[in-house]
């Protein structure tokens, strides 16, 4: 039996009035773009569906999953600039598919530790505007598992990332 893992109770989220005043950042890796761009679309659509104004969502593209930490750090440190130097939450979106080499382990460990450090406010850069950094990185054994979680039979993990970002930004 397969279930959509992206189901959630919308009644647990703040009102659209609250969300219309918030800003969110999404840092998306372009490696495995067929998957990561579908995840980003799921996150954006979910934020807008619940009241975040689309112009209050900034999307930054980085080459790969390892670079997600640096992109998120630009937002957390206030160095992104303009409207987006103070965001309510950052969602990092990537996809790492296991291959025949240990590269998978190094990439997964790097991004996991980087996001953890940002959330613990321990990143080597000065933290000017601490905000939650949401981990929406798929780590799968094969491409089909990733597709199943990027709008396929198991839902869209980008949706889950957006819902988590909303909840964490409004603790």
Concatenated DSSP letters for the chain? ----TT---GGGSPPHHHHTT--EEEEEE-TTHHHHHHHHHHHHHHHHHTT--GGGEEEEEESSSTTHHHHHHHHHTT-S-GGGGS-SEEEEEEEEE--SSTHHHHHHHHHHHHHHHHHTT--SS--SS---EEEEEEEESSHHHHHHTEEETTEEHHHHHHHHHHHHHT-
The full length of the chain comes to 171
Question: Could you list the active site residues?
Answer: 103
Backbone angles phi, psi at 98, to 5 degrees: -60, 135
For residue 21, list its beta bridge partners: none
């Amino acid at each position: 039996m397969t279930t959509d893992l992206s189901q959630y109770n919308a009644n647990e989220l703040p009102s659209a009035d609250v969300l219309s005043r918030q800003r969110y950042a999404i840092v998306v890796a372009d490696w495995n773009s067929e998957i990561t761009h579908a995840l980003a679309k799921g996150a954006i659509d979910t934020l807008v569906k619940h009241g975040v104004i689309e112009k209050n969502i900034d999307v930054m593209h980085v080459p790969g999953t390892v670079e997600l930490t640096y992109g998120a750090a630009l937002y957390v440190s206030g160095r992104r600039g303009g409207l987006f130097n103070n965001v309510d939450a950052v969602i990092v979106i990537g996809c790492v598919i296991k291959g025949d080499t240990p590269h998978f382990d190094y990439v997964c460990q790097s991004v996991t530790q980087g996001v953890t450090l940002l959330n613990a406010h321990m990143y080597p850069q000065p933290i000017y505007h601490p905000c939650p950094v949401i981990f929406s990185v798929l780590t799968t054994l094969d491409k089909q598992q990733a597709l199943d979680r990027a709008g396929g039979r198991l839902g869209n993990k980008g949706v889950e990332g957006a819902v988590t970002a909303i909840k964490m930004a409004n603790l």
